[in-house]
Amino acid sequence: MKPAGILGIILVVAGIIMLAYGGYTSFTTKENVAKLGPIEINRHEEHPVPIGPIVGGVCIVGGIILLVSNKRSPV
């Protein structure tokens, strides 16, 4: 299989995973809630970073275009 076909398959699979999964937890923030002498109370909050469905759709469409153009080339 040609490199364009392999890249097309990878893009389609990545797009499907992006649409199915939707996002991942990227970073955690730490907030100081209270400080009473040597005692500190902190709160950790996770903030998800969404991967837009548009990006997943673009990956799928781009992969399909690569696969179709790979099959039509005579070489």
Q: Which of 21, 11, 7 lies closest to 50, judged by CA?
A: 21
Q: Which residue is associated with the tokens 């490199």?
A: 3
pTM, rounded to two decimals? 0.63
Q: Positive or negative, the Cα torsion across 28, 33, 38, 39?
A: negative
- Taking only the tens of pLDDT, the chain with its 75 residues reads 788 889 999 999 999 988 888 766 678 999 999 999 999 999 999 887 777 788 889 999 999 999 998 877 565
User: CA-to-CA distance for 12 and 23, rounded, in angstroms?
Assistant: 17
